[in-house]
Amino acid sequence: MRAYPECIPCLVKQGLNAAEKLNLPKEKLYEVAKAGVRYLAQFEEFDRSPAYYAYHIQKFVKELTGVEDPFREIKRISNLKAEEILNKLNVEEYLKGDRLRRALKLSAIGNILDFAILSEEEAYGKILQLLEKDFAIDHSEWFERELETSERVLILGDNAGEIVFDKVLVKVLKELGKEVVYAVKGAPILNDATLEDAKMVSLTSLCRVITNGNDRVGTDLSVASEEFLNEWQRADLVVSKGQANFESLSGIGDKVIYFLLTAKCRPVVLESGASKVGDLIFKRNKPLEGGN
Amino acid sequence: MRAYPECIPCLVKQGLNAAEKLNLPKEKLYEVAKAGVRYLAQFEEFDRSPAYYAYHIQKFVKELTGVEDPFREIKRISNLKAEEILNKLNVEEYLKGDRLRRALKLSAIGNILDFAILSEEEAYGKILQLLEKDFAIDHSEWFERELETSERVLILGDNAGEIVFDKVLVKVLKELGKEVVYAVKGAPILNDATLEDAKMVSLTSLCRVITNGNDRVGTDLSVASEEFLNEWQRADLVVSKGQANFESLSGIGDKVIYFLLTAKCRPVVLESGASKVGDLIFKRNKPLEGGN
């Protein structure tokens, strides 16, 4: 999707939010905001995805901290908290009846929570509450149908913490006999999961984990590694997690992609066809032929 | 007050919000956002008030509509709705017991509501609810004390709609024998009240209404008219309404100013000493000598 006008101030704000999480002093926050407006001021057209611009703005945060992985500690805490919460949840009980759809929902809910900010108790409470919620866009029947004739599923991961809940989805897909490959970022960007996170939460012992070979926000195929593009080609189905991946891949039509996310702003609500911010979405990139 | 880092994206967003209210098409919204980031990208320091930058960004909205007073209809509707609501409120009953403080509170509540957006019913309901709320910062005792030895009160108005509720405050001050002068904007800016609004709601028949001689957001003394500066000098007390006036006058120490507003964002919460967004504030610019 193309950036909306309202994405422009939001992108600057995102840079500031990141800087605030890292406790940068006020003078550094001014620098981040200035770098943001100066970067955006150069464009005549905003025809790229919000994730594309977000990547460049987040680079200023890296530069200003002088640290290659400023979110490392935040990611570690998120993983730990999410693991605790997953252990506390009675997952097998929850999955009963409709294992695949429920695993998908748990994965989408993982996308809504900021594990670094919420206490374990708060996050746990929110999850129980959100599990009651239905997908606002639910293409899980199409997904199940296509899965029957599919062998390889590529999951595009999003954040640390969230990655823990994706393990349930990986397990359920594997029970169905699918070969699952999970892709993380090739280098640190924001709080996105990297190989380090995949190892930390033992995702690597569940399925093959690859990286996309770069540190972009979302998934930009034009800068992806050969290994990633190879898996992308081979996959029968792609499950794309989170808003940034949706932003960068929603325009792709020559691959079957199911977007699994929580809509966090009005532009994504509009582009996805959801009805409001906070909606859980499981949406095929285009209608399934012969599906209804 | 000086603009905070987070004011920078917020200023761009404000421009967009204004443009959205005017139903400008998406391409114009991109133009507003681009003009906003380009304008802000030129600054090395953000040592002016948010209202100062807001003024310049709002000028782009005027330029893009090609209309001198793009909010004219919104202001008219706000005045009409606010008048209906005031007629519905049993003001004399409400004022009983503590007339001045209650008139001040009603005036602060007028600052919180967007009469153009809310239906009359919604606005009326909100007012009843907010009347139950206390000032988070309440210097009304100091105000009453100072009022005893004061003759002239200058009120700096804020928006259309809101101006209607200020009439109650003007009446109560006049009952106390004070000479009240009410200042509006000298030319259209955003939905700020002008002489046209003061006439429309018959404020002009209650007290002398002057303009500040310009179209700035807030009150910038460096560009105010001689007539305004004359009244400013002569006034014993200034009552400054709304956030933009607070932003532009909070640094002034050589005049007694009481700020009457609702804190609408974190920077103003921090600068005013309020505790949270939404707090009603009635605050003297500096502690009253000998006051406690």
Q: What is the dihedral sign for C-alpha B283, B285, B291, B292? A: positive
Question: How many domains does chain A contain in total?
Answer: 2
Tell me how far apart the alpha carbons of residues A267 and A226 are, in angstroms, rounded to a whole number: 31
ipTM over 0.85: yes
Domain assignment of residue B290, yes or no: no
β-pairing, A257-262 vs A237-241, is parallel
Owning domain of residue A38: 7-65
Domain assignment of residue B292, yes or no: no
Query: Which residue in chain A is spatially nearest to B10 when comparing CA positions?
Result: A9
Q: Are residues A96 and A185 in the same domain?
A: yes
Look at residues A48, A65, A82 and tell me which one is the last residue of a structural domain: A65
Tell me how far apart the alpha carbons of residues B185 and B219 are, in angstroms, rounded to a whole number: 9
Domain assignment of residue A81, yes or no: yes
User: Which pLDDT does position B117 carry in this prediction?
Assistant: 82
Nearest to A12 among B4, B12, B32 (CB): B12
Query: Which residue in chain B is spatially nearest to A24 when comparing CA positions?
Result: B5
Query: Which residue in chain B is spatially nearest to A16 when comparing CA positions?
Result: B6
User: Which pLDDT does position B68 carry in this prediction?
Assistant: 85
Domain assignment of residue A187, yes or no: yes
Q: What are phi and psi of A243, to 5 degrees?
A: -75, -40
Domain assignment of residue A1, yes or no: no
Contacts of B16 in chain A (CB under 8 A): 5-6, 8-9
In order along chain B (292 residues), what is the average pLDDT of each group of 10 residues? 96 93 90 96 96 94 88 94 93 91 94 85 90 94 96 97 97 97 96 97 98 96 97 98 96 96 95 95 92 67
Q: Are residues A218 and A275 in the same domain?
A: yes
Domain assignment of residue B33, yes or no: yes
Look at residues B18, B35, B65 and tell me which one is the last residue of a structural domain: B65
Q: Are residues A123 and A172 in the same domain?
A: yes
Q: Are residues A120 and A50 in the same domain?
A: no
Q: Are residues A106 and A54 in the same domain?
A: no
Q: Are residues A36 and A76 in the same domain?
A: no
User: Which pLDDT does position B292 carry in this prediction?
Assistant: 63
Q: Are residues A27 and A107 in the same domain?
A: no
Look at residues B65, B82, B113 and tell me which one is the last residue of a structural domain: B65
Domain assignment of residue A291, yes or no: no
Query: Which residue in chain B is spatially nearest to A31 when comparing CA positions?
Result: B5
Average pLDDT value over all residues in chain A: 94
What mean pLDDT do residues A26-46 have? 96
Q: Are residues A53 and A145 in the same domain?
A: no
Interacting residues of A272 by C-beta distance below 8 A, sequence separation 6+: A137, A246, A250, A259, A261, A263, A279, A281, A283
Q: Are residues B42 and B130 in the same domain?
A: no
Q: Are residues B179 and B264 in the same domain?
A: yes
Q: Are residues A55 and A26 in the same domain?
A: yes
Q: Are residues B61 and B76 in the same domain?
A: no
- pLDDT tens readout for residues A251-263: 999 999 999 999 9
Chain-chain contact of A36 with B6 (C-beta, under 8 angstroms): no
Nearest to A6 among B5, B16, B37 (CB): B16
Chain-chain contact of B13 with A16 (C-beta, under 8 angstroms): no
Task: Supply the CATH number for residue A77's domain.
Answer: 3.40.50.10880
β-pairing, B257-262 vs B280-284, is antiparallel
DSSP string, A220-281: -GGG--HHHHHHHHH-SEEEEESHHHHHHHTT--SS-EEEEEE--SHHHHHHHT-SSTT-EE
Collect all residues from A whose CB is shorter than 8 A from any CB in B: 4-6, 8-13, 16, 26, 29-30, 32-34, 36-38, 40-41, 43-44, 46
The gap from C-alpha B251 to its chain's centroid, in whole angstroms, comes to 17
Domain assignment of residue B161, yes or no: yes
